[in-house]
Amino acid sequence: MAQYNFGVGQLFIVPPGANPTPVNVGTLKDVSLDISRDVKELIGANAFPEDVALGKGKISGKAKSGRIQAALIASILAGSTTTTGQTAAANNELSTIPGTPYSVTALNGATFVQDGGVYDYTAGKWLTLVAPGTPASGQYTVTSAGVYTFAAADTTHSIGLFYTYTLTTGNKVALTNPLMGAATIFQLNCFNTYGGKQFGYTLYAVVMPKLSLAAKQDDYTETDIEFQGFTDSLGRVISVFTQS
């Protein structure tokens, strides 16, 4: 009986080492697998080949996920470290410039990291950051504690603060500059069930050379990964499983 496949099923990668925790690629949207071989043609004086042989082979693929996962990002960024805590952003935190001393403390001033700009809605323009001192109209200063100070002439103006700050929750995946050549080798598994029949494949050794985080104006951010397969220590490349 014929077998068909519909949908993407599940994709998970298995890191190396003893008792590794698999990384399941959540909210999987697309998976593609390409298996190709170089074609070598023996051509003499005539137009068409007298013989054709297959040369080097290549296995590569792509996957697209709608879920942002620290474990997946860390897996692709070989040599990265993952720690607890993250940097977040305050995007247009609204406030009003008060009277003396004309200062506003950011709501997350206790964990303030970096200024991202101030927009003056009353004046309809971005303000200019200046060195600590007494700012003139249209200017501001900011301290490491997230204290913004403005000009006396700009009192009562409505403003929006943009800045980054730290959180104790979440994850931080950090990558420094590693030596070339080092790569983490994973096993990759893709399986799906349709019409009561199983279909899937296992790549026994893959590296993941590319990660894309595509943010869109009116859609979800997508995590795109690319992978390339090769022979593992047991000489295995790929197994494809069907019920037909």
- Measured CA distances, 169 to 47, 77, 85, 93, 181 (Å): 67, 21, 5, 21, 33
d(Cα 74, Cα 72) in Å, to the nearest integer? 5
Dump pLDDT digits (tens) for 34-51: 999 999 999 999 999 999
Kindly give the residue spans of alpha helices, DSSP state H, lying in the chain.
Answer: 70-76
Among the listed residues 186, 240, 217, the one whose alpha carbon sits nearest the alpha carbon of residue 24: 186
Q: Helix (H, G, I), strand (E, B), or coil: what is residue 72? A: helix
Dump pLDDT digits (tens) for 70-100: 999 988 888 888 999 999 999 999 999 999 9
Dump pLDDT digits (tens) for 234-244: 999 999 999 98
Would you list the domain boundaries of the chain?
A: 1-41+52-60+173-210+219-244, 86-170
Q: Helix (H, G, I), strand (E, B), or coil: what is residue 175? A: coil
User: Which residue's structure tokens are 């600590």?
Assistant: 132
